[in-house]
Structure 1
Amino acid sequence: MDIEQVISAIGEIPFIPKERGRELYEFVRANKPEAVLELGFAHGVSSCYIGAALKANGSGLLTTMDLDRTRPRPELANLLDISPWDPDIRTLLKTTELEDWVEPVFTPTSYNWELMHLLENTPAGQWRFDFAFIDGAHSWFVDGLAFFLVDRLLKPGGWVLFDDLDWTYGSSPSLRETGYVRAMPAEERDTPQIGKVFDLLVRPHPGYRQFRRDSNWGWARKGP
Structure 2
Amino acid sequence: MKFENIHKRVKNVPFISKTNAKSLYEFIITNKPTNILELGIAHGTASCYIAAALDEIGNGKLTCVDLIEVKDAFIPTIEDQLLDLSKYVEVHRMQSGYNWFLHNEIKSCSNNEENICKTKYDLIIIDGPKNWTIDSSSFFLCDKLLNENGWIIWDDYSWTYADANLRRDITDGISHRSLSKEEQSIPHIKEIFHLLVIQHQNYSNFIIQDDSDWVWANKVKLNSIKKIKYVHSETIHHFLIRIIKKIILKIRKNF
TM-score by length of 1: 0.89
Alignment deviations for residues 32-56 of structure 1 (CA, whole Å, 9 cap, x no partner) = 0000011110000111111111111
Cα distance between partner residues in 2 of 1:27 and 1:121: 28
Gaps of 5+ in 1: 73-83
Name the structure 1 match of 2:145: 153
Name the % identity: 37
Give, in angstroms, the shift of residue 125 of structure 1: 5.1
Tell me which amino acid in the other structure corresponds to 1:189. Q
1:23-172 aligned within 5 A? 23-72=23-72, 84-94=73-83, 97-123=84-110, 124=116, 126-172=118-164
Cα distance between partner residues in 2 of 1:115 and 1:106: 12
Cα distance between partner residues in 2 of 1:33 and 1:69: 30
1:199 to 194, 198, 204: 194
Gaps of 5+ in 2: 111-115, 222-255
1:183 to 1:2, Cα distance in 2 relative to 1, 3 A = same
Give, in angstroms, the shift of residue 173 of structure 1: 6.1
Alignment deviations for residues 135-179 of structure 1 (CA, whole Å, 9 cap, x no partner) = 111111111000000000000010111111100122126754348
Which has the larger displacement, 38-47 or 119-128? 119-128
Alignment deviations for residues 167-217 of structure 1 (CA, whole Å, 9 cap, x no partner) = 012212675434812332221111100000000000000011221212221
Contact 2:117 2:145 in 1 (8 A): no
Largest Rg, 1 or 2: 2
Which has the larger displacement, 156-165 or 210-219? 210-219
Contact 1:43 1:87 in 2 (8 A): yes
Which structure has the higher relative contact order (CA within 8 Å, separation 6+)?
Answer: 1
Tell me which amino acid in the other structure corresponds to 1:221. N
Note if 1:211 corresponds to 2:213. Answer: no
Q: CA RMSD in A?
A: 1.6
Cα distance between partner residues in 1 of 2:189 and 2:58: 33
